[in-house]
């Protein structure tokens, strides 16, 4: 096995379901400490994190990622046990293989190789690792970033190891993400018998025209980097379960994935204006998971494109598609942030896997980016 494949297997064998780390970070910090990194372990509530730095001054190139994984589901449905890394037909199977223990292994071995060649590199190399990315993300990267900000420490460039690729490693780089604004809306009516609707007030009937207007609304047109903002209802709950009872209230959960052409405050105001137009009696609770961010052409993008061309033979596409990542907590500090990792076709699925050869390509790509920026 290559060093990257061996480390990936060692990480996968640890059942680190959110927020458990299961010893993954200790394994990583042992390797990093051996090549001159200063390690600071940071535990917030029940979440383990660490910040590691090598170098005395200058710009910081930070590798960011998470050791936690989503639950494996029914182990009997896996072709091999989810926490026993297994190689079949050139693919490494196991929970976290693609999201994102393969990336973590590639980051560590890239740094080991780079430091061996450039022990006196310019600038600083850092790691920001959490075990709270797949969960509520309240005590992980966001808390470490707050801790760094309080110390006046700024990340210059950040590579997040999320599985960004689609067909082959390096074919897609995420250079931004849409914002995510969630909402729980409760529309109040009056419960009653379906045979006497004049004595009741059906909240489903009342809210339906408002939801139709919200779904039809053109929130913005997007721009060169982002698609138009989207509105989607994910849950609608009402009723007692009986067929002859008009419900007293309806609860609706919806989400905006929004571009830099809209702000969270604007979306809230426009939504509540539509609800008011329909004269609804309602309670509303908003949750902003992250603002949109974008890293345009610059030193980090140039280094990543150069590295991918050289090590993967691919011409990367810059994309802002997909969900959110912990990059949303790092970008607002002024850092240039990219997501670059393996193929994402099997993430969160039964039989999650990653191409074995892609792990070494990814390590070589990370190493080339280090050379471009810090050699």
Q: Are 102 and 359 in contact (CB under 8 A)?
A: yes
Q: Which residues have a Cβ under 8 Å from the Cβ of 167 and sit 6 or more positions away? A: 343
* Coil, strand or helix at 348: coil
Q: Which residues have a Cβ under 8 Å from the Cβ of 315 and sit 6 or more positions away? A: 171, 308, 309
Q: Are 25 and 50 in contact (CB under 8 A)?
A: yes
- Cα dihedral value 67, 72, 78, 82, nearest 10: 30
Q: Which residues have a Cβ under 8 Å from the Cβ of 122 and sit 6 or more positions away? A: 55, 58, 374, 375
CA-to-CA distance for 48 and 29, rounded, in angstroms? 12
Q: Are 300 and 373 in contact (CB under 8 A)?
A: yes
Q: Starting from the edge strand earliest in sequence, which strands make up the sheet with 172-174, in order? A: 38-44, 47-54, 124-130, 60-66, 157-160, 336-339, 172-174, 317-319
Q: Which residues have a Cβ under 8 Å from the Cβ of 80 and sit 6 or more positions away? A: 86, 88, 93, 94
Which one from 48, 99, 133, 339 is the annotated catalytic residue?
133
Tell me which residue of 160, 148, 178, 146 sits closest to 66, measured CA to CA: 160
Structure tokens at 22: 């299961």
Cis peptide before 277 (omega within 30 of 0): no
Structure tokens at 242: 């009986």
Structure tokens at 361: 């390509």
* Coil, strand or helix at 93: strand
Length of the chain counted residue by residue: 375
CA-to-CA distance for 120 and 58, rounded, in angstroms? 13
| Annotated catalytic residue 68 | yes
Q: Are 327 and 336 in contact (CB under 8 A)?
A: no
* Coil, strand or helix at 52: strand
Known catalytic residues are 68, 133
């Amino acid at each position: 096995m290559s060093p990257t494949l061996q480390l990936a297997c060692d990480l996968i064998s640890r059942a680190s379901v959110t927020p458990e780390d299961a010893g993954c970070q200790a394994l990583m910090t042992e390797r990093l400490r051996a090549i001159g990194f200063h390690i600071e372990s940071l535990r917030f509530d029940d979440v383990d994190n660490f910040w590691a730095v090598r170098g005395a001054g200058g710009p910081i190139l930070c590798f960011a990622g998470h050791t936690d994984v989503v639950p494996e589901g029914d182990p009997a449905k896996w072709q091999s046990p989810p926490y026993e890394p297994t190689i079949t037909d050139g693919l490494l199977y196991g929970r976290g293989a693609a999201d994102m223990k393969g990336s973590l292994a590639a980051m560590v071995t890239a740094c080991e190789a780079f430091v061996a060649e450039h022990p006196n590199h310019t600038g600083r190399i850092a790691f920001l690792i959490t075990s709270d990315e797949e969960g509520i993300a309240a005590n992980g990267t966001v808390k470490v970033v707050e801790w760094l900000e309080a110390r006046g420490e700024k990340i210059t460039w950040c590579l997040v190891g999320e599985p960004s690729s689609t067909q082959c490693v390096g074919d897609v780089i995420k250079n931004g993400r849409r914002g995510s604004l969630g909402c729980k809306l409760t529309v109040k009516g009056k419960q009653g018998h379906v045979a006497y609707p004049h004595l009741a007030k059906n909240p489903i009937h009342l809210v339906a025209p408002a939801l139709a207007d919200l779904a039809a609304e053109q929130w913005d047109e997007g721009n060169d980097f982002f698609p138009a903002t989207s509105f989607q209802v994910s849950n609608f709950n009402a009723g007692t379960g009986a067929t002859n009872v008009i419900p007293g209230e309806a609860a609706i959960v919806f989400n905006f994935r929004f571009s830099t052409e809209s702000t969270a405050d604007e979306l809230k105001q426009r939504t509540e204006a539509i609800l008011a137009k329909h004269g609804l009696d309602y309670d509303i609770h908003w949750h902003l998971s992250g603002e949109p961010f974008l890293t345009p052409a610059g030193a980090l993008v140039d280094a990543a494109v150069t590295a991918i061309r050289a090590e993967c033979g691919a011409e990367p596409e810059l994309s802002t598609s997909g969900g959110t990542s912990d990059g949303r907590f790092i970008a607002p500090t002024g850092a240039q942030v990219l997501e670059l990792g393996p193929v994402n076709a099997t993430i969160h699925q039964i039989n999650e896997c990653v191409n074995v050869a892609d792990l070494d390509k990814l390590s070589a790509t990370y190493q080339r980016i280090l050379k471009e920026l810090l050699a």
